Structure 1
Amino acid sequence: MEREHRLKRLRFRAWHRGVKEADLLIGGFFDMHAERWDDAEIELFEALLEEQDVDIMAWAMGTAAVPARYEGTIMNALKTLNYVPISR
């Protein structure tokens, strides 16, 4: 699959999780980081999207241990939480 098409599909999946909080966390993360990912990181993110939102959110917030298969640059960036838009 062409990279641009693959990223477009992933962006849709990242922003349409079914719960607003997950949309903001996962979609915001995708928007901030995806353009810099290599093929391996894209594959890892694709796999991550197959996980339950509550698990992804717990890993990002540090309330649950991250499975070894997701440890690395993507999860470290996800844990920073500096990509979630906060409106007042």
Structure 2
Amino acid sequence: MSGLTRSSDGLDERRRRILFRAWHRGMREMDLILGGFANVEIETLSDAELDAFEALLEPDDQKVFSWISASEPTPAEFDTPLFRKIRDFHLSGRGLPA
């Protein structure tokens, strides 16, 4: 899988930037988790969800991966409805390549 699988055509600048950053994390597992989620959900996220997504793109990949995989507790400031939506999306397998 080469990564970004949806076009950013039709997305506003902020969503294009988030989509790009979600697919260019540095840790392949996080590319697939965050990028896969962004491919499917980026168009429908509210401004508050976009804020939460941008915040989640800041910490180190290994930390975020440990929260998503529940090997470490998620800090309160990142345990948002959007984070739980991303984690549930990942656990459902919906973002996995065919």
Q: Please state which band the TM-score falls in when normalised by the shorter chain.
A: 0.7 to 0.9
Q: Is the 8 A contact 1:62 1:79 kept in 2?
A: no
Question: What's the counterpart of residue 33 of structure 1?
Answer: 41
Q: Which residue of 2 aligns with 1:66?
A: 74
Does structure 2 retain, via aligned residues, the 8 Å contact 1:24–1:85?
Answer: yes
Of the structure 1 ranges 26-35 and 40-49, higher mean CA displacement relative to structure 2 is found in: 26-35
Unaligned runs of 5+ in 2: 1-10
Aligned partners of 1:10 and 1:36: how far apart in 2?
Answer: 13
Q: TM-score, normalised by structure 2?
A: 0.76
Instruction: Work out the CA distance in 2 between the residues paired with 1:76 and 1:33.
Output: 14
SS in 1 for 2:25: coil
Where do 5+ consecutive residues of structure 1 fail to align? Answer: none
RMSD: 1.6
58-67 or 8-17: bigger deviation: 58-67
Partner of 2:8: none
Structure 2 residue matching 1:68: 3-state secondary structure: coil
Task: Name the residue aligned to 2:96.
Answer: 85
More helix by share: 1
> Whole-Å Cα distance in 2 between the matches of residues 4 and 46 of structure 1?
15
Q: May I ask how many residue pairs the two structures share in their alignment?
A: 85
Stretches (4+) displaced over 3 A: none
Residue among 38, 53, 75 paired with 1:45: 53
In the TM superposition, what whole-angstrom CA distance separates every residue of 1:58-81 from its partner, at most 9, and x where no partner exists?
A: 111111111111222211112221
| Percent of aligned pairs sharing the same letter | 34
